[in-house]
Amino acid sequence: MTRIGRIKFTETDAWYHLYSRVAAHKGVYPLLHAVPMRRLIKTIEHFSAIYFCDPAAFCVMGNHYHLVVKFDAQRMVSREELRTRTRLMYPSQASQIRIDCWSEKDWEHYRRRLFDVSEYMRNIQSAFARWFNFNYQRRGRFWADRFKSVYLEDKRKTGNQPFLAEVLLERYDDLDGPFQEFLEANKLSSHMLVLAQKI
């Protein structure tokens, strides 16, 4: 069965509500613990510094997470800026040597990729899954299925982060957050609103 294409906007800035669930048995909450939660948040921060996007709010639950993010409209980007982002994406010396051999077509493919919400989530989900499976001696898929995305048409022109966080809060009326102490203790960006629920 052919899967339905994801709605994405590239000509204008676009706000999305993204969420994904862990492939786990009922009553298993791997994201509830501090170490995996912190790692997921830092993974989101890492790839947000590479892609042309701005996460405004997120919520890490026991077995799933939500993320509200604005993606920039596609535009031309200098080679210098692209190269800086490749160093974050592919930090090894061997990778950088291969990048030296990229063609114009390769650079254009990479530029377009950095504006793509699907590629962004693929990087976040695969990087975290590899880390979790390695550190917790786990095998197999970590995420239950494709991540879900909702285009927030009515939020696309606002930069009001508390307002954007309402997208998450309207789904949960018993959240324990925001965790400012968690942000400070783990040296996370203070502009991100972190919410968590006790399961």
Task: Give CA–CA dist 163/166, Å, rounded.
Answer: 5
Strand order of the β-sheet with 53-60 is 148-151, 14-21, 64-71, 53-60, 193-196
Question: How is residue 93 written in tokens?
Answer: 């010396």
pLDDT over threshold 60, residue 179: no
Indicate the domain borders of the chain.
Answer: 14-73+115-196, 75-113
Backbone angles phi, psi at 147, to 5 degrees: -70, 155
- The candidate with the shortest Cα–Cα distance to 55, out of 64, 74, 42, is 42
pTM to 2 decimal places: 0.78
Q: State which H helix or E strand residue 173 sits in.
A: none
The three-state secondary structure class of 64 is: strand
Task: Tell me what pLDDT residue 197 has.
Answer: 35
**Any idea what DSSP says for residue 30?**
G
How is domain 14-73+115-196 classified at the CATH fold level? Alpha-Beta Plaits (3.30.70)
Task: Tell me what pLDDT residue 101 has.
Answer: 96
Backbone angles phi, psi at 138, to 5 degrees: -115, 150
Quick: pLDDT tens for 143-166: 998 898 888 765 544 454 444 455
Rg (CA), the chain: 17
C-beta neighbour count of 48 within 10 angstroms: 18
Positive or negative torsion for Cα 121, 124, 125, 126: positive
Averaged confidence pLDDT in the chain:
80
Mean pLDDT of 40-46: 94
- The candidate with the shortest Cα–Cα distance to 56, out of 153, 195, 170, is 195
Task: Give CA–CA dist 53/73, Å, rounded.
Answer: 9
Segment among 1-15, 75-89, 151-165, 169-183 with least mean pLDDT:
169-183
pLDDT over threshold 90, residue 32: no
149: left (phi over 0), alpha (psi -120 to 50) or beta: beta
141: left (phi over 0), alpha (psi -120 to 50) or beta: beta
